[in-house]
Structure 1
Amino acid sequence: MLMEHPWFSLTKQPRRTPFHYSRGGVDIRIEPGAKGMANIYDKDLLMYLGSIINEKLERGEKVSDRKITFAAHDFLRSTKRQTSKRGYSLFLDMLERLDGTRVRTNVESGNDKIRSGFGWIESYRIIERKTKNGRSIMAGVEVTLNEWMFKAIVIDRRVLTISPRYFDLSKGLERRIYELARKHCGQQRSWLISIPSLKEKCGSDREERKFRADLGKIIEDANIPDYTLRMGKSADFDSAFKSRNPKEWMLEVRPIRPQSDEAIEAAANPAEESPEKLFERGDAQFRPKPLSIHVINNARERFPDWDIDHLEREWAGSSQRNQLVIKDPEKAFMAFCERYIANRSIEM
C-alpha cells in the first residue's frame, strides 16, 4: 500500500502545493499542512510504528488500540538519525507534518472500499519529565495512528521487511525507487517500467529529461541496496513487457541475488506466508518467558509514562540477542527498564 503509490513528497524542502495522483482506478489527493506535505523521510515513523504492531501480531497478541507509546531515542537510532537536541527538533517537525498533511483516497483498507480522508497520524503527545537537576527531557512519545493505516497493518497485514541500508539513502528518489523495487521484484526476477510511468509512480514533478538525469546519477552512484538498475531505450531490452515504442526510455530493476522459483511463488501468494518484520530478533532459545501480570502491574506503577508491553518486548529481544540466561526475571526486567529509560530520554 505505502510502497505501491506516491503518498509522500520526495524532498526535504517543504512542499506547500496540493498533490493529485490518479492511475488504474486509484485516486489520491494530498493537501499540505502548516509545515508542508509529509515527505518520504517522515514515512520512516509510520514504518517504525507498523513494525511495533506487526511484532505484537507475530507473537499472537490481539492488537486493538491505535495508540502506540515508544521511546523517541529508539526511533531516531533505528532510522539512523541524530539523537541530539537538533534531532529532537527535527522529530517534532516530522510529527507536525504527519499530523497536518491531509490525505483523501479511494484505496481500500481492511476490506473497506470507501473514499476516506485523514491525516497520517490522528494525534501525538510528547511525554516530558524533569530530571533531579531540573532539566526537561522527552521521556517518550505517544502516537495514535489513523484508522485507515491501522486496518492496513492489522487486517490486511501489509508489512514488508526493508534493508537497514534503506535509512542510509539520502535522496528521496533513491528511497522511492527502492520501495518500488521491493514491492515489484518480490514477484518476479526483474521489473521493467517506462520512464513516464515511473515518474508518475514516484510522484515527481520534474521534467522528464531532468528526471532521467536524476536516475542516471542514481544508477552511477549504485547506493540502492539489494538491486541493480539499468536505463535504456525499449529496443535495448529483451522482455515481453517492454514498450512497443522502440525509442521510449525504460528502467529495468533486478535483485542482486535472484530469488528461487519457490520464493517468487511465495511472494505472489502472500496469504500462504507470514508477514516479515522490519527488525529481526536473535536466537529463540534465549528469549525469556512472558512476565507474570504481577510483574507487569508493578512496572506500570513504577514507570507510568511508558508502554510496559513495549518495554517487555525490548527486554526480551535484548536478552535473546545477547544470549542471556535470566535467573530472576522480575529483577532483570526492572533493571533493564531503569537503564532503558535513562538512556533513551532526550534533553529538550
Structure 2
Amino acid sequence: MAMALKKDARDDSQVDLFLPQLTALPLRDQRETMERPFFSLSKRKRLKPIDYISPDRKVTVHVSANSEYGLATIYDLDILIYCASVLIEYKRQGKNDIPQTLHVVPYDMLSTLKRDVGGRAYELLGNALDRLQSTTVKTNIRSGDAVETTFSWIDSHSQLKDRNGQVRGMRITLAKWFYDGVLMEGGVLAIDPAYFSLTGGRERWLYRVARKHAGGAGSDGFSISMPTLYEKSGAEGDYRRFKFEMAKIIRENGLPGYSLELIQRDDAEPMLRMTKRDADSKDAPPSPTAPSTTDTKPKNTADVVGEDPISFPVQGSIAFDAFGVIARANLPSPQRDHSAVADEFRGFLKSRKIAFDAENITQIFATFCSKQRAAS
C-alpha cells in the first residue's frame, strides 16, 4: 500500500508537465516606449522619419527608416512585447543570466499574439523582424540631455530550419537599450491581451498611452490636450486629420479597460480624458476579440508548416530541429548535454505511455526542460 501511495504522489507531481510553457504568458510592455512616438502607426510602408521634441525640450526621439523596409510599425511592436514578456517571466522564475538572445518557437509567439498561424504568417513575421532590425532610433529619453543613444530594436535575428527547409525556430537578439529597459526596476507594465485584437494603429497607440498614464491615476483619470497628443503620436498626417480620427475613436469608446471622453473648451483645443473602467461597470463595452479561428487553427506546430504532425525523434540528435530550439530556450544555465536530456525525455514518455507525436509534445518537452537541473 505504501508503495502505491508513493507512485501516485510521483504521478501527481508530474501533472504540470502538460501545461503550456510560453503560450500563456502574462503580457508586459516596455514602459518608456508607451507614450513617445517610436513606431509608425500605419501598416503602409513609411519612409518619413519621426522627429519628436518634448514640450520642455528635454526629451528627443528621432526614428529613421531603411529605404528597403520602412519604419518599424506598432504591429511589429507585438514581437517586442512578446520578448519583454519572456524576459520578465525568466526574471520571475529567478533565472540567472537572463539572455539577451531569445530562442523562440514561432508558433507559440504567433498564438500568444493572436496572429494567424497559417499561410504567409512566417513570411510576415520575418518582414516584421527585418523592420525592427533596420529601423534606427536616436533618443535621450533615459538620460536627459546627457546622453543620446542610437540603436535598432533588435541587433540580429535568424531562422533555424530543418533539413526540409521548414522554419522550426528563431533566434532574436534584442537591443541592449531595450533589454535593459525591460529588466530595470519598474521597466514594464502589464497589458490586456485584448490589446492584440485592436486592429487600428491609432487605437493601439492610444491604449498604450492610456495604460501608462490613466492606469494608476484614480477616478479622475488623465487628461491631455489634443495638440500635445498629436505631437506624441508621431502620426504622418496633419493635425486636422488626426483630430478627426481621434474623435471617431472616442465616440466608439472601445479600448479595453479604459474609457475615453472628449472635453470641448471655448478658448482652446479640446482635451482627451482617459479613465480606467470599473471592472464591474455595466456600460463598459466588451473587449474586442479576434476573429474566430475554430475551423482553421492547426492542431499542432507541424500543421503550420504543412508537414506531417511533429514528433519527438525516437533516437538521434535534436540539435537541428524544433526540440533543440526548445531545449536551448528552457534548460537552466549552465545547460546539460542536450542528447542526455533527450534520452531522459524519451524514457519519461515511455514510462508515462505518452505518444512521441502527442498533440502537445512541444509543450510537454518545454516544461520537462524547465524542470531539469543545471549542469554541475
TM-score (norm 2): 0.67
SS at match of 2:159: strand
1:4 is the counterpart of 2:35: yes
SS at match of 1:28: strand
Give the 3 Å change call, closer, same or farther, for CA 300–158 of structure 1 in structure 2. Answer: farther
CA shift, 1:99, in A, is 0.6
Task: Please tell me the residue identity of whatever aligns with 1:76.
Answer: L
Does the CA-based 8 Å contact 1:15-1:37 persist in structure 2? yes
CA shift, 1:208, in A, is 2.2
- In structure 1, the partner of 2:161 is 128
1:170 paired residue among 199, 208, 211? 199
1:150 is the counterpart of 2:179: yes
> Which has the larger displacement, 333-342 or 204-213?
333-342
Does the CA-based 8 Å contact 2:223-2:274 persist in structure 1? yes
2-structure distance, mates of 1:7, 1:141: 24
Task: Please tell me the residue identity of whatever aligns with 1:119.
Answer: S
- In structure 1, the partner of 2:170 is 141
TM-score (norm 1): 0.72
1-structure distance, mates of 2:181, 2:239: 33
CA shift, 1:303, in A, is 4.7
Task: Please tell me the residue identity of whatever aligns with 1:74.
Answer: D
2:271 paired residue among 229, 234, 250? 250
Give the 3 Å change call, closer, same or farther, for CA 301–51 of structure 1 in structure 2. Answer: farther
Task: Please tell me the residue identity of whatever aligns with 1:139.
Answer: R
Give the 3 Å change call, closer, same or farther, for CA 73–184 of structure 1 in structure 2. Answer: same
- In structure 1, the partner of 2:148 is 115
1:186 is the counterpart of 2:215: yes
CA shift, 1:216, in A, is 1.8
Task: Please tell me the residue identity of whatever aligns with 2:135.
Answer: T
SS at match of 1:254: strand
1:213 paired residue among 231, 234, 244? 244
- In structure 1, the partner of 2:371 is none
SS at match of 2:190: coil
SS at match of 2:81: helix
Does the CA-based 8 Å contact 1:63-1:154 persist in structure 2? no
- In structure 2, the partner of 1:88 is 122
CA shift, 1:108, in A, is 1.8
SS at match of 2:89: helix
1:308 is the counterpart of 2:341: no
The runs of 4+ residues in structure 1 deviating greater than 4 Å are: 332-338, 341-344
- In structure 2, the partner of 1:56 is 90
2-structure distance, mates of 1:170, 1:300: 45
The gaps in structure 1 that reach 5 residues or longer are 236-245, 260-298, 314-327
Q: Write the mapping of 1:70-109 to structure 2, written as runs, cut at 5 A.
A: 70-108=104-142
- In structure 1, the partner of 2:362 is 340
Identity of aligned residues (%): 29
1-structure distance, mates of 2:186, 2:113: 22
Give the 3 Å change call, closer, same or farther, for CA 67–113 of structure 1 in structure 2. Answer: farther
SS at match of 2:33: coil
Q: Write the mapping of 1:180-329 to structure 2, written as runs, cut at 5 A.
A: 180-189=209-218, 190-234=221-265, 246-257=267-278, 302-303=318-319, 305-308=324-327, 310-311=329-330
2-structure distance, mates of 1:41, 1:64: 26
Give the 3 Å change call, closer, same or farther, for CA 234–303 of structure 1 in structure 2. Answer: farther
2-structure distance, mates of 1:343, 1:204: 44
Q: CA RMSD in A?
A: 3.2
- In structure 2, the partner of 1:16 is 47
1-structure distance, mates of 2:235, 2:365: 40
